[in-house]
Structure 1
């Protein structure tokens, strides 16, 4: 029998925000159950710190610089890139999803007759929620409907895409539910102020909601006698929606939880230190179904690690990951992005910022920001629009004089290179490039990153990288100067053909 696959992906959850990693605030019994029955990854990373490019990379097994429009946020998903969900379906799998699939973006005009993830199961809604902002989608009931429609004997792939813990949150809902947080669990890039801790508890409440539906799904599979033949993978698409996390290549933007269990996964409660990238799940799922990996991808199946009974560092080749980002929201004049690439090793994170003269998380608010330039535009309220609106963002802006260093790392311009010692500085507070104390390591990692990007044909390194700024955005546009036409290519950045 080919195994079933249940894939659960949270929306904006950073490592190590799960109780399997030792947290007393972020309580995730279902995630912990998966980890106890299989493998817990300590070093899992997304391809991009934004949802739609991260999900496109996962579906295709490709890095964002290979995905054209799909490598940027809220654009097209070109039909020419094969996705593992289609391959599974064509091989006989019954597929479906609930919640958030690939997105945001435009797949219809790119030639897809449905979302690249597959058919939707979103009809059932919950009668009560613990807080406003939590989706009304009854994910577990929709999974039950999916199972009831599966033809007898047919293996399935199901994508559980929770909307949680994506913003917005109901302010104070986490504390009201009884959650508390220790100072040690407040990320070092956020101040330990009441506003911040309350916001973190609201985030923790939503993580718990996502996990509760996963628990119901696991219980359904057990009741049906299907759990032992189901590979379960639980992770997130990018980091937490707080300043200096989501949309950043720093640790809290790209480092995510990952647990895997099921048939073929050897051992129990194993903890693995290998550096893995979520695009690796594409060939992993294909191999589980007895299918070949896609030609031309750089991802590698996780099965050699999953089948091994050891803990710690297993595969010596898995000693780095690559990540990158392009445009997130419309946060700068001319709809420009903030292109950057990163290499993460066991000890260090090195980042190259291709246009350090740009504001990394969007321009500050202009003086006149009260009117919109088009009917579908949003006013530029607080500026720095690549950072999701939140009490934490507002607090840091309002109290920048009290916390100048934390405001600087989150909002202000950065240099062309960044280097962080993850062993001693997991929150990326000290850019070692500025100290010059690790010059040899900086040179080595820069050389390694640029050589790997060149071999992979990244346009930002090989030439023509301006094409990323030409790609359409289908999300809301703001009244910045220059190009702001929703859903249109910016002709100024389309490379000239010679």
Structure 2
């Protein structure tokens, strides 16, 4: 029937020379391969999975992130390989561990853009590429056709952006809104003849948590419950005891909680315009008065700080989710939604009072796990959950797989698209253990460097550089990770097995530094 259609119509066209070219063009469209999908990777900063509705939080409102999860897939064990901002971004771009891509810490290291990059690989395969928003890698974007990025950490209000080729311009407004504005402007002006890959890098929810004016006080009527291990005594965990990231002692009243701010001398607030400062100051003057009037001490003060922390944190998260909604709406209205993969992830997890902490770094669950939801219309079945151990080294290979591009041989991760599609087979087994290595010490939070592995049930970690201690947790019996059972009677075989697997992973990923430390580690 198809052959008859082609033959019949070709005869018609041959009789009308003026229509011949049009017919040939129409016929050729039948032979084209399916259109490759566009890909948007929305990448936030320090956004905790346990602070998202789709991950079970019943208090906070994240309707637009929840929508992506509802219309696509939610990863319940998406783990990072080094829980800190810059290194996680480097892993997204390279598909490699920190010891391999050269970016281990948030310091003055300049990200090596000469290595194999996700962006350049996509560009060579025919994608138009862009990075807009926070990058935080001490280098300008490489492999991107377009960029407009924040310098360093960036600012929440009236931030500077670096555009091409290297001009820095200050823009009036709130950072989440501006990032969305610049993203949709680029989408509207892009080269429509190519599929696109866009990274939308949000600053939210990074410290010091300055909410948008419209979100000030959004959670002031909420009394957040204390985590079960909020008053953790760190018994049997010397590295946890030695850290400097508690809400009690580390969180600052002025800079973090905005008590008695100096709006003239603090550079963060010098960039506010008159109207912004008036509204912002009026709100936090009331917070200062509340703090002064209460005259709190001891546990009452710690818990007041905890409430203020979460109220600001989740108010900032409001702007993040709202702007994700704006971007989704743009895709709907422009007709792009049906052929655009949308991914939302954070650079790592974050502590929202668990263990009495804020920040990240430790191999413990709240910072090891990070949110990851993905919508791929027509390919990923809506509403599925994937519980396999997925690492951020897998993000780049998966994006390349979605784009129909080959994964470079030096990338250490592998595509989990088969898991999302439900086509993973026993003949091609997925990993059963995940490897982790953290480096940054002693500043800023005195978290000892450590490496370890996580299985579906157990976690083994070794802290070095002065801590020199092992930790072992049974996540099934001890999900809050307060009972270190390393050395306990009856764990000998389990410990030996996990240490053996840890060495195998170090060897597989060529972490020579870790192998040397392991060889001389305290037993």
Superposition TM-score, scaled by structure 1 size: 0.71
Distance 1:207 1:342, change over 3 A: farther
Residues 1:5 and 2:39 are matched in the alignment: yes
What are the within-5 Å matches in structure 2 for residues 207-218 of structure 1?
Answer: 207-218=317-328
Q: Tell which deviates more after alignment, 242-251 or 76-85.
A: 242-251
Q: Distance in 2 between matches of 1:445 and 1:155?
A: 44
Q: Distance in 1 between matches of 2:342 and 2:208?
A: 28
Partner of 2:485: 432
1:433 Cα deviation (Å)?
A: 1.6
The Cα offsets for residues 77-130 of structure 1, whole Å up to 9 and x where unpaired, read as: 2234211111112222121122112x243x36xxxxx4566632369x99999x
Q: Which structure shows the bigger proportion of residues in helix conformation?
A: 2
Query: SS where residue 350 of structure 1 aligns?
Result: strand
- C-alpha deviation, 1:316, in angstroms: 5.0
Match for residue 89 of structure 1 among 98, 106, 123: 123
Count the aligned residue pairs: 391
Distance in 1 between the 2:179 and 2:52 partners? 20
Residue of structure 2 in register with 1:71 after alignment: 104
**Does residue 179 of structure 2 align to residue 145 of structure 1?**
no
The runs of 5 or more residues in structure 2 that have no matched partner are 1-34, 160-172, 233-246, 248-298, 519-523
Say if 1:44 and 1:256, in contact at 8 Å, map to a contact too: yes
| 2:454/2:460 contact within 8 Å kept | yes
Q: Which moved more, 1:342-351 or 1:423-432?
A: 423-432
Q: Which residue of 2 aligns with 1:286?
A: 400
Q: Tell me, in whole angstroms, the C-alpha distance in 2 between the residues paired with 1:196 and 1:186.
A: 14
- Tell me the equivalent position of 2:512: 459
Would you say the 8 A contact 2:349–2:367 is kept in 1? yes
1:160 to 200, 205, 225: 200
Contact 1:244 1:252 in 2 (8 A): no
CA contact (8 A) 2:79 2:368 kept: yes
The change in CA–CA distance for 1:337 and 1:119 in structure 2 (over 3 A counts) is farther
Instruction: Out of 191-200 and 27-36, give the one that drifted further.
Output: 191-200
Answer whether contact 1:247 1:328 (CA < 8 A) is retained. Answer: no
After superposition, the C-alpha distances for 1:352-402 in whole angstroms (9 at most, x for unaligned) are 1232x2xxxxxxxxxxxxxxxxxxxxxxxxxxxxxxxxxxxxxxxxxxxxx
Partner residue, 1:404 = none
Deviation at 1:331, TM superposition (A): 4.8
2:386 pairs with 1:272: yes
For residue 325 of structure 1, the aligned residue among 432, 435, 438 is 438
Q: Does 1:22 align with 2:136?
A: no
Q: How does 1:148-227 map to 2 (within 5 A)?
A: 148-170=188-210, 176-178=217-219, 180-183=222-225, 188=230, 193-227=303-337
CA apart distance, 1:169: 2.1
Unpaired runs of 5+ in structure 1?
Answer: 109-113, 358-413, 466-498
Aligned partner of 1:339 in structure 2 is: 449
Alignment CA distance shift 1:181-1:38 (3 Å): farther
For the aligned residues, what is the CA RMSD?
Answer: 3.3
CA contact (8 A) 1:40 1:271 kept: yes
Contact 2:351 2:366 in 1 (8 A): no
Question: CA–CA distance in 2 between the matches of 1:321 and 1:447?
Answer: 13
Deviation string for 1:21-41 (max 9, x for gaps)?
A: 121233211111111111111
Shift of 1:14: 2.2
**Distance in 2 separating the partners of 1:247 and 1:294:** 29
